[in-house]
Structure 1
């Protein structure tokens, strides 16, 4: 039985010897330096089948080349004891076989190697075993070169945009544009337009293009920047405008006008109708452009007073009656709680008959500072303070008995000297009445006076005296005296029975 030993790249068949034979052992140790051996070789071509692309494979063929002169003539493997070759396959490499058995020389046995990770891998012969005589020299070690796969794609380009993005793709601040260019398969050989850029002025659209080339080809990437960092414009107005006092007395419409020279106006206002009264009102309008910039405007100082001033007639009341000489002082009151009184109302009194009768007091011409006008009027009556007839005439229902043709002093008071023009036109008058029922039976006749003085006033007695001259022909009849004053009150009546 023989074993195969490897020394200095060669494998030897060594016969078993007695451990005591020192000389023979030393001779055997020196033997590799003096004899020849069969060669284990392969067909590796440097730069050829020793090189693959990651993911690919290559085939290397192994054979034994007989050299002779190693103590056994001819091919060691064909002596009936085959040679077994064991390959050392490193991690990352896959081989179709790692053990080869040779029974003859100069016959190639192929082994296919593959690897997916680029790198250099040492493929070596771990052992050559042959139980027969003869020696072997290993000349089949080689390095498997695994190359990265070829680049078939151009660089990947991405734009890096930094800025404040508003609406609709518009930037509303300065914008920085930079580029990331990568190609994991091959080096970038050239770049154009890929330098960083800053956009610090408004633009409707500025396009930047980065172009890069690698072994995989050329690629380009473009980005267009729209920048509008300028706020829109807005102005407002109120219609109708105020009067000279700064007030309106009707609804006010506030309108806004907006503008934007680049991205354009997206919204404006809104317009607003002010209908409520109040001082110092204001409306805020906002303009927004399509980029999202905004601006506001305030239309203020709007004063609205739609309420006329309050006008009152003072001193007298609607429908009231006052005695002549005791009428309250009539005046006007004007007030306005919002804009204030600009022009107070002035008084005018119409109607009446001298100092008595029905009067209308009008307060007109009032204006507030908003231009609202107002007026007020009151109708009242001034009458005489009539207290009935005095003696010698008795008041109704008494039937006064007098002699026909006599002058009857008809006395009464009006609450002071009211002058002598106190009777309604054509009065006093008289008419015939039925002496039993008191109903009149003939037309009213105008009275005649005794002498030429019909009416007089006695200040000391605050008394009026009307001298009623009767006619003798009235004897045996009854008459009613009708005294109608010019103050609009009802007639004052007294009944008389005339004797002959």
Structure 2
């Protein structure tokens, strides 16, 4: 453009894109798996420029993905490279079953769990138990069983574990389907004398009375029986009851030394004891013999001989009725002999009379202890006579028999006169005789006779 000159030229002006910077935002290259396709965030200088990220692979699963962020702008250019790391998400593992606080030996529990992860879920057990297919079985009668649930690392989730479950292992209690039968015993015997038979139990072991030294009363006694398993580490003892028939015992009644008894005399008393611990009471009676019961254990002789007395004990709660006897020998006591009474005189007086007549021979007997008259005819053992030489008898004291007897010759007792009367039928042969009266006490009394006419 000049007054004096002209000319021109043609060409192309090229304006190149300015260089811009791309920066990945903090944290954008490290993200956690959540199932969505990931992208990255960037910042440009100058700001506000469009950036297109390009990944190697689809950034969805956990892993590393190279990424290039390129500015897409008319006037600016630039790019940045990096690696997007998608971290595994945290998984949650938890039990869906509730474990019992305790479980007996051989008992079982089905464990179940769930996980949010994609790794393998494993349920395990340790300690006093075992596990198979999720079934936890207690293998001891004590200790602790620990049940675990663990999820392994997966593609997109990391491994995790549930809070362990703990179960206290305890002993099992056997169930006794049939308790044994106890044999009968007798009162005074301990339960240990009874035999237990017919035993049925779910485990090996023994039955025994819980208190074998117990001595129950007669009747049906409900006794405690304990089953003790052979494996006491894993099984509890079990207590039940059985009926024991307790028969009444037979007490022993024992007499003391037999008393000395005489007749006629005072009373005698026996002494006896019983092993009946329920009651020591005894009643006494006469079984046989010449005696009568006065009261208690006191008896009165009614003659000489063997008096058999009996001591009896009544049946009680624990004892049957029982009795025993004792023989008391009653010997003759010496009598006070009063006689002979008129018309007969005692020796050495010689009574004179007629042969063939009957004469009353009279005498009295009194008890030496009490002075009372004795009337029992058994006091007379015999009345006999024997011929003797008249020269052997004293004749200067002769006494004529001036009374003859009436009635028969039988021995009798005259309770009015308190005297014994024997009508002696004298022999028809003339001569001298001795009448001999023998009493049961062993004493002998004689009267001399000279029978003439």
Asked if Structure 1 and Structure 2 have the same fold, meaning a TM-score greater than 0.5 normalized by the shorter chain, the answer is no
- TM-score, normalization by structure 1: 0.40
- TM-score, normalization by structure 2: 0.44
